[in-house]
């Protein structure tokens, strides 16, 4: 397993990371996960745009251009002979003695690796269950930062309940899931939370927005309540790894017929058609 660390390709065992890395102390950094289908980065442009936007908001100067990073990630895919899976990359503010203010002289640190896995065919086919939980995160959920403790706690809460994932709400308004966006279907209209500061602006969400338009399905970027969620005809989540995954039961209540619905299926088919075959 070869990692990219700064500008070097290093075996995992040979990788030395400073204990003073601010990612380790403070979660002071950002990350991205880009899907790799057939050895190629999927929707790389929007992922790089989100990375740049987060870096600017966190005031972490990126030490490379998008083209340079893209070239390095492609090389990483090659050296690891990755066909199916994803690339994970993170950039921290740098390494310095522990102190809250930005260090005067710290260089941002890039680390990236690849993971090999297949498309989640079983859950794509059968769907998952979910439980609702309070969204206790901060008010910049649009930034893809390393601070994922609320998401980790929420996901474990779902596991403890025997559910596949959580669906977050703020005072009854559904935001998103622990690592995916949420969409509902009611009377053939899709609703999903607007891309503001309360959710991550998912790249798969964007793809689905585009596909809905292409398929002539009405879609509203509008907030909806937990009540609407539980009484929806269909519910699905979207993410880089989950693609378009049906949610068939929430808080023990069957959604619609308790099986993946027709619009979810239609979008899954449309999504599959966007996957490069070679
Ligand atoms: N919301 C959250 C909180 C996430 O962590 C993710 C996954 N990165 C998403 C939504 C989905 O984003 P994407 O489609 O870009 O993977």
What is the reported pLDDT for 71? Answer: 98
Interface predicted TM-score (ipTM) of this complex, two decimals: 0.99
Question: Does residue 237 have its Cβ closer than 6 Å to ligand 1?
Answer: no
Residue 244 C-beta-side C-alpha neighbours within 13 Å: 27
Q: How confident is the model at residue 277 (pLDDT cuts 50, 70, 90)?
A: confident
What confidence score (pLDDT) does residue 243 get? 98
Mean pLDDT score across all residues of the chain: 97
pLDDT in tens, 102-127: 999 889 999 999 999 999 999 999 99
- 59 C-beta neighbours (distance < 10 Å), count: 8
Query: Are 276 and 70 within 8 A, CB to CB?
Result: no
CB-hemisphere CA count at 13 Å for 142?
15
Percent of the chain with pLDDT over 90: 98
> Model-level pTM?
0.98
CA 104 to ligand 1 center in whole angstroms: 32
Relative to the CA of 206, which ligand 1 atom is closest? 14
Please give the average per-residue pLDDT across 158-176, as a whole number: 98
- 239 within ligand 1 shell (Cβ under 6 A): yes
Rounded distance from Cα 142 to ligand 1 centre (Å): 10
Q: Which domains does the chain have, with CATH numbers?
A: 2-116 (3.30.470.10), 121-272 (3.20.10.10)
Q: Given this model, what pLDDT does residue 106 score?
A: 87
175 CB within 6 A, ligand 1: no
- Alpha carbon distance 72, 241 (integer Å): 22
Cα 65 to Cα 35, 71, 107, 216: the distances in Å are 20, 10, 15, 37
92 pocket-lining for ligand 1 (C-beta < 6 Å): no
Which residue has the CA at smallest separation from atom 12 of ligand 1?
A: 202
Determine the atom of ligand 1 nearest the C-alpha atom of 204: 14
The tens digit of pLDDT for each residue in 42-59 reads: 999 999 999 999 999 999
> Using an 8 Å Cβ cutoff, are 90 and 30 in contact?
yes
Best mutation site among 202, 209, 243, 271 for ligand 1 pocket (most ligand atoms within 8 Å of CB): 202
Q: What is the pLDDT of residue 278?
A: 72
Q: What is the pLDDT of residue 256?
A: 97
**pLDDT of 11:** 98
* Arithmetic mean of pLDDT, 79-99: 98
């Amino acid at each position: 397993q070869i990692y990219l660390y700064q500008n070097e390709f290093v075996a995992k065992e040979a990788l030395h990371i400073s204990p003073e890395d601010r990612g380790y102390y403070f979660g002071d950094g950002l990350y991205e996960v880009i899907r790799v289908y057939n050895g190629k980065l999927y929707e790389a442009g929007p992922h790089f745009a989100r990375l740049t936007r987060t870096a600017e908001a966190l005031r972490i100067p990126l030490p490379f251009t998008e083209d340079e990073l893209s070239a390095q990630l492609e090389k990483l895919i090659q050296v690891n002979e990755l066909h199916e899976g994803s690339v994970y990359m993170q950039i921290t503010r740098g390494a310095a003695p522990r102190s809250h203010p930005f260090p005067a002289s710290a260089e941002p640190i890039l680390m990236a690796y690849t993971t090999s896995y297949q498309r989640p065919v079983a859950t794509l086919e059968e769907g998952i269950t979910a439980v609702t939980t309070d969204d206790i995160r901060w008010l910049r959920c649009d930034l893809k930062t390393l601070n994922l403790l609320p998401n980790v706690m929420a996901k474990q809460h779902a596991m403890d309940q025997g559910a596949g994932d959580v669906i977050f709400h703020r005072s009854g308004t559904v935001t998103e899931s622990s690592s995916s966006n949420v969409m509902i279907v009611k009377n053939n209209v899709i609703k999903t939370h607007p891309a503001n500061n309360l959710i991550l602006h998912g790249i798969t969400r964007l793809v689905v927005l585009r596909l809905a338009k292409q398929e002539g399905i009405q879609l509203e970027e509008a907030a909806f309540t937990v009540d609407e969620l539980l009484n929806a005809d269909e519910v699905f989540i979207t993410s880089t790894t989950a693609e378009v995954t049906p949610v068939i039961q929430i808080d023990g209540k069957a959604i619609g017929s308790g099986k993946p619905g027709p619009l979810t299926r239609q979008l899954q088919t449309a999504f599959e058609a966007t996957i490069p075959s070679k």
